[in-house]
A and B are shown apart, each in its own frame.
Chain A
Amino acid sequence: MGKFRGVDFYDVDSLLSEEERAVRDTVRSWIDERLMPIIGEHYVEGRFPKQLIPQMAELGLFGANLPEEYGCAGLNNVAYGLIMQELERGDSGVRSFASVQGALVMYPIYAFGSDEQKRRWLPRMAAGEVIGCFGLTEPDYGSNPGGMITVAKETKDGWMLNGAKMWITNGSTAQAAIVWAKTGALDDVNSIRGFIVPTDTKGFSAKDQKGKLSLRASDTSELVLQEVCVPKDALLPKSSGLKSPLMCLTQARYGIAWGAVGAAMACYDEAVSYAKNRLMFGRPIGGFQLQQARLAEMLTEITKAQLLCLQLGRLKDQGKATPQQVSLAKRNNVSIATDVARETRRLLGANGILAEYQAMRHLANLESVYTYEGTHDVHTLILGQEITGLNAFN
């Protein structure tokens, strides 16, 4: 496989700074050289490529938009987005790993943690020495996390947690879990607080989710917390109510909007080269109008998604991006990426079903991405509420 050269029909590159391009190019060649040769095999075997964690840390991929004083790269949000794009160009599982570590674990410690917690956890997480996971979803509460029934009761010298979390990325790999639990009555969403729970604490267990046909190169696990006792300083002091985990989701969704563009570009690139090289009826299939229509559609949607991300990133860097704008980008980009992956799969004929090619792997992955971090439907409702002022959730 040659070097990936990206897709840039509108010279979007010229809107990036030299550092932003340098960051993108570094991650791009790392993915080319270190992930692409092994991802097909890992995917089929259902293994996250753990051996890459130290390299990812050394490159500075974890929490890359958090400040340098905590051992992070201190990048702007556009550069951060470009990292997510390039990681997901490789595989959504690898991007998920970095998203969880940075946006769902390091970010809440940074945003809601005490100085002591930040100093204790962030540098080791940036260095990949401590891997984290984010436990919000429960078996019976997915799109409606406010309904959660995991509880934390204050004890004499700390907190005791009880409950279960489901679909937790990095759950079996993590040394530390950010667990969201109600500290008050079950109908009180304002009592939701975040806790840093070391996964070797007594009563904590994680079980790998078996039988996944999507995100196979990613660890997805169920967490069970049975009378898990943690000290007082496990509580994230500035977390308060459902809006705290939702703020984390906004960070991660932002990265996903970029990541989806990466997956779409990988598929488009594959589609173009296949269309030019595959001869059928005596000519390249790229010479048939039907396939050209596919490719034209893909390029159009990718180009729109790129511009969407870039402007969203610039707004975020100015502190002006709203959660609803992030919802629009996540919703649109994941949806078009799924379409691009599916059309590429189809354009490749029978080859399109093989792990040797990328399209089917991306397509299967993107079905998870479509569902997690707020399903496509949920983002529709968020936008609907933003537009009309009317809540259609319940």
Chain B
Amino acid sequence: MKIAVCIKRVPDSETRVKIAADGKSLDEAGVKFILNPYDEFAVEEALRLKEKAGTGEVVVIALGPPAAQETIRTALAMGADRGVLLQIQGLHPDGLETAKALAAELRDAACDLILFGKMAIDDYNHQVGPMVAELLDLPCVTTVAHLEIAGGKGTAEREIEGGVEVVEFPLPAVLTTDKGLNEPRYPALKGIMAAKKKPLDVKPTAPGPGALEILSLTPPPERQAGKIVGEGSAAVSELVRLLREEAKVL
């Protein structure tokens, strides 16, 4: 079983990000970057499938800046066999350009499965996985919360509004993974040391300009301090008045 997992380097959700001077990108100074948490589920699932099969290969592929090598090594430390960095200079291209670059890398890779996190926590696009599937003309199941692979086909469960959808699909296929699929392992310390010695191919990549242009980034408005209008039933009429007259929600 050969499995490719596409991963992205993203700012840690706990970091307070600042917008750079150009008004359209993030100021990376002092920002901690991590492996996109949804991609961790994908890496973990790939490792489990390989371990269950007792044979196979897990390749992680990232499109990103040179520093994304570190992100790849996190996945290698978890247990992936080798990594490929489609190295860009500067900002990430839009979803479609990213998908094209990844699809070009994956086209002749003869993978049984291609896994993605359902979205990257920086841009929330939910796009790249399904786009790659489309470009490679492969079946695609998104937001997989449970997965079984047997006899050359797979069964996936997706949590949908009010229920669970069960989908059967042939291999090869593209899947995007959701929270709940598994609990990603910690990279063991030995794994961290071993990661240094695993192959990591760096391929300079120049994605097209894309159709999407970021015009500006703005932080959400500062939240106003809360107000306690009083306690107990005596405060209710004041609260209702404020909700009606100030907040205008009633």
Which residues from chain A sit less than 8 Å from chain B, CB to CB?
2-3, 5, 18-19, 22-23, 26, 29-30, 58-61, 64, 68, 73-75, 79, 83
Bound complex: CA A60 to CA B89 (Å): 36
5 additional A-B pairs beyond A19-B193, A60-B190, beta carbons within 8 Å, are A3-B14, A5-B32, A26-B188, A73-B188, A83-B189
Which secondary structure dominates where chain B touches chain A? helix
Majority DSSP secondary structure for residues of A touching B: helix
Q: Which residues of B contact A61 (CB under 8 A)?
A: 189
Query: What are 22 A-B interface contacts by the 8 Å CB criterion?
Result: A5-B32, A19-B192, A19-B195, A19-B196, A23-B189, A26-B186, A26-B187, A26-B188, A29-B186, A58-B188, A59-B186, A59-B189, A60-B188, A68-B190, A68-B193, A73-B188, A73-B189, A73-B190, A73-B193, A74-B190, A79-B189, A83-B189
Instruction: Write the chain B residue with the least CB distance to A6.
Output: B32
Q: What are the residues of chain B within 8 A of A29 when measuring CB–CB?
A: 186
> Are A18 and B73 in touch, CB under 8 angstroms?
yes
The 8 closest A-B CB pairs, nearest first, are A60-B189, A73-B189, A22-B192, A73-B190, A3-B14, A60-B188, A60-B190, A26-B186
Is A23 within 8 A of B14, CB to CB?
no
Inter-chain CA distance A73–B187, complex, in Å, is 12
Q: In the complex the two chains form, is A2's CB within 8 Å of B14's CB?
A: yes
Q: By the criterion CB–CB under 8 Å, are B14 and A75 in contact? A: no
Q: Which of B74, B187, B192, B195 has the most CB of A within 10 A?
A: B192
- In chain B, what residue has the closest Cβ to A73? B189
Interface size class of B (residues with CB under 8 A): 10 to 19
Q: Which residues of B, 120-168, contact A by the 8 Å Cβ criterion?
A: none
Report Cα–Cα, A73/B186, bound state, in Å: 14
In the complex, B28 has a CB within 8 A of chain A: no
Chain A residues closer than 8 Å to B186, beta-carbon distance: 26, 29-30, 59
Please state if B187 and A22 are interface contacts (CB–CB under 8 Å): yes
Q: Report yes or no: B189 in contact with A26, Cβ–Cβ below 8 A.
A: yes
Q: Which residues of A contact B192 (CB under 8 A)?
A: 19, 22-23, 26
Partner of A75, one of B32, B74, B189, B195: B189
Chain B's closest residue to A18 (CB) is B70
Q: Mark B26-45, 1 if CB is under 8 A from A, else 0.
A: 00000010000000000000
- Judged by a CB distance under 8 angstroms, whether B7 is at the interface is no
- B177-221 toward A: CB 8 Å interface, digit per residue (1/0)? 000000000111110110110000000000000000000000000
CA distance A58 to B240 in the complex (A): 56
Of all chain A residues, the one with the shortest Cβ separation from B67 is A18
Closest to A5 in B: B14
The answer for the CA separation of A5 and B12 in the assembled complex, in Å, is 11
Tell me the nearest residue of chain B to A3, going by C-beta: B14
Chain B residues with CB under 8 Å of A75's CB are 189, 193
